[in-house]
Amino acid sequence: MLLSRVVQASQSARATSSRKKKTAAFAELLADADPAELAQVVAWISGELLQGRIGAGWRTLTAMEVEPAAAPTLTVAAVDRAFTDLGALTGKGSANDRRDLLTELFTTATAAEHDFLLRLLTGEMRQGALTAVVAEAVAAAFEVPIADVRRAHMLSGRLPVTALAARTGGAAALAAFRLEVGRPIQPMLASPGQALDAVLAEFDGAVSVEHKMDGARIQVHRDGDRVWVFTRTLREITGAVPELVELVRGLDCTSVVLDGETLALNDAGRPRPFQETMSRFGATTAQELLLHPYFFDCLHLNGADLLDAPLRERRAALTEVAGGLSIPALIAPDAEAAAEYFDGALAAGHEGIMIKALDAPYAAGRRGRAWQKIKPTHTLDLVVLGAEWGYGRRTGYLSNLHLGARDPEGGEPIMVGKTFKGLTDALLQWQTAEFPRHERERDDHTLYLRPELVVEVAIDGVQVSPRYPGGVALRFARVVRYRPDKEPGDADTIDAIRALLPETPLAAAESARD
């Protein structure tokens, strides 16, 4: 298959806001792809590379001066080989070799292919091809149920692998996917909850109430003496966290998969700042700061998969295998006990509580109502779209942030507000140094960023506003922290923000209109 065929489908998807039309364009493309090139095509239209990061940065790519080819000749296989060769370059002289390889690749590409490759290599595909859309295209292209595709993707953790199974073996091949110890699966996610009493009533009290810790999500696998540790983005960090590896290796079991949080504690046993915990995740070897795990789910134990079992059974398995390392929880408490537990979690330095339905299975990769987080104030994970230069004591610093919510249809992030509140001197210095690395463009007042950084903000509420394209604006937004453990695809959606609008006739009318 020629690369130009992939580019054509990408352009068709970018030209429409219709999810149905995006899906149809990609389904036709996938149906035309040979098995040997399907994985690459699926990865590219999802905005990813099979090789991961290959060292082709924004500055290197935009500095190239290459005349485009007159006619398309590049094949999918040739581009994939070039990416593999780029990823293998290391050591002295690799920068020059990388530039030469990129120049050779771009010299063979047409103008439209230039644009596609540039967006792919810099993480700016932004064609509305979220993984969910591509998954629907896989189902349509190979005539398999979308539910089967989603479950196989959840278990494999890799949509290109899922697509190849659907292409070569249909629904039977998708059904053959199982939880594989050592291969991470997408984590189950929580939705923001409202009043504590209302959430308890929603599940008729059949819930587990747990501390919502200010830690980093981890997924731990063990098979015999071998242990793997993964982040919430499924990145392996086993070598950087030997203390966690030793703790899991010491559990009384032959195989296990655990979901949980890890955080650093101070001498008094209280959680250290989130940034200190995350500093270990960027390391390649252990540092002096020790991490402590708090597991809250057991997905597999001694050869038995537990994904489809209700939480009450998974919790029993967790207590059996890792009771001393499990997160504190109350099972089916009354409203008064739950409220006291909430206060106790805050007093201990945690963010709040999690409320989880005891009868719900583990919905990997999905954000549903079965898990809800309750915090003293609403917090949102948003994408940083830009920053304005400060004035007064902030002159010379990038300060006022432009904040965007994720478009669930896969389009550009949707701006919902600005804030300069909560920015410490240290954060101002960090932003001013870091933001130019993500620059898209600038004017006299503002540096506009590629949508790559996620920041957590606290808000007092949401209000209807014609000022921003989503029709809503944040009230009294303030920065809590940056989230290096999250990607733009993990940010809260515009729908989640609209759901926080007060129930007034005007709000209802605005929501219905959108």
According to DSSP, the residues that pair with 406 across neighbouring strands are 493
> What sign for the dihedral angle of Cα 298, 484, 495, 123?
negative
Point out the catalytic residue in the list 22, 212, 373, 418. Answer: 212
**Strand (E) or helix (H) holding 279:** helix 274-281
**Cβ pair 114, 397 in contact under 8 A:** no
215: left (phi over 0), alpha (psi -120 to 50) or beta: beta
Residue 194 DSSP class: -
Closest CA to 68 of 118, 113, 21: 113
Count other C-beta atoms under 10 Å from residue 201's C-beta: 11
The CA–CA distances, whole Å, from 152 to 160, 170, 358 equal 11, 11, 24
Separation CA 147–CA 75 (nearest Å): 32
| 212 in active site | yes
Q: What whole-number distance in Å separates Cα of residue 322 and Cα of residue 295? A: 8
E-assigned strand segments in 349-423: 352-357, 367-374, 378-389, 398-405, 414-419
Alpha-carbon gap, residue 338 to 259, rounded angstroms = 23
Rounded to the nearest 5°, which phi and psi values hold at 97?
Answer: -60, -40
Contact call for residues 330 and 344 (beta carbons, < 8 A): no
DSSP-derived pairing of the beta strands 216-223 and 291-301: unpaired
Which of 188, 211, 200 is closest to 332 using CA atoms?
200
What residues pair up with 47 in beta bridges, in sequence order? none
386 vs 306: CA distance, rounded Å: 43
DSSP strands (E only) in 184-279: 189-192, 207-212, 216-223, 226-231, 255-264
* Catalytic annotation, residues: 212
